[in-house]
Amino acid sequence: MTTPAIQYDMTPQELRRTVEKYGLETCWPEIEAGLRNEVLLSPGESKYDDLPVGGTKQGGEPDLPPGMDWPKYSRRGVPGLRNTRKPMTFLMQLRCGDLRPFAPPQFPDHGLLSFFVAIEQNELVRDQNENPVGRVLYSPGSEIEMLVRTPFPRGLYFGNRLPPCSLKIESSTGVSFDLLSEIMERHFGFSEEIHDRVWNLYRQEIIPAGRHKLFGPSTALEGSRLFQFSFLETQELETELADEALSESGTNNDINNDWVLLLEFDPADLPPGLLADENGRLFYEIRRDDLAAGRFDKTELRHDDA
């Protein structure tokens, strides 16, 4: 199978020019030290599901080993709902070999990752901790030749079947909003003007609008808890409390380097009406030890609102 050509989005040199455009050239050495490689995924045009079996794509019918059960979710224990198991929505599959040149060392060389999420009545299904319910399946390299295109199961609402499309892969350079804020405050002190300045830089130049991404820092979204805590004056909040608050909002790749962003999915790319709230992002995150061991069942899923 041919590996798609990798295109380049934001290079460190381009990011440096952007930082200088905002008059922040004195901050560049510290920003450069915090740069992270990432991969951006841009959906192509929808078409018939004639994309190669085992290849990188969004939507359509997934490619799974024969006999593998389609991931399902249960609403057991939720008052007023029947205790039935229902099929999850298939989002995308990623051929590991397509991403390996830019992946962390723990990432597998071969195989296929398939991402699912539970959606019911235009809403994300959430667990007892209010996190979205989802699954990541891994088909190792030894199984890749045995994959078959798996039909949508009965019970999966027609509107939850994403149209198939190819994905353009782009290598890019990212930096976290938290790090930018920290550097700016160190150089210029804390003020709303400084935060507005760094947010404008981040929102207009760095956030990959309309694209999904992997491996880099999680995107900070205006209105999310993670973003709101970035605006708290450090004089009024102990460092321990800030870390605790960030931890409660989800695993943050830049606070805790033990985690890898396996996929950041932008719901705005979903078909109209699939989700009532198409804002925010879905974050599939996994610990590096679990990634190295291939324990993709340990992947955690969270959702930040915009």
Which range of 47-56, 149-158, 176-185, 217-226 scores highest in mean pLDDT? It is 149-158
pLDDT band at residue 301, thresholds of 50, 70 and 90?
A: very high
pLDDT recorded at residue 253:
39
Residue 303 CA to residue 29 CA, distance in Å, equals: 32
Calpha distance 54→142 (Å, rounded): 12
Is the whole-model pTM more than 0.85? no
- pLDDT beyond 80 at 78: no
pLDDT in tens, 88-98: 999 999 999 99
For residue 263, give the DSSP letter.
E
- C-alpha angle 291-206-298 in degrees, rounded to nearest 5: 15
CB 103 within 8 A of CB 262: no
Angle 10-115-43 from CA coordinates, rounded to 5°: 40
Helices 192-201/177-188 angle, 10° precision: 140
Q: Report the DSSP pairing between strands 134-139 and 57-58.
A: unpaired
Q: How many other C-beta atoms lie within 10 A of the C-beta of residue 166?
A: 17
Q: How far apart are CA 303 and CA 285, in angstroms?
A: 11
pLDDT at residue 231 in the model: 37
* Cα–Cα nearest to 263, from 167, 182, 163, 164: 167
* Under 8 Å between Cβ of 294 and 142: no
Mean pLDDT of all residues in 173-195? 83
**Phi, psi angle pair for 290, to nearest 5°:** -70, -35
State residue 286's pLDDT score.
Answer: 94
Torsion region of 210: left, alpha or beta (phi above 0 gives left; psi -120 to 50 gives alpha): left
Phi, psi of 123, deg, nearest 5:
-130, 150
Q: What is the mean pLDDT of residues 197-204?
A: 81
| Least confident among 60-64, 156-160, 207-211 | 207-211
CA distances from 232 to 191, 195, 222, 235 (A): 10, 10, 14, 9
How far apart are alpha carbons 297 and 136 in whole angstroms?
Answer: 6
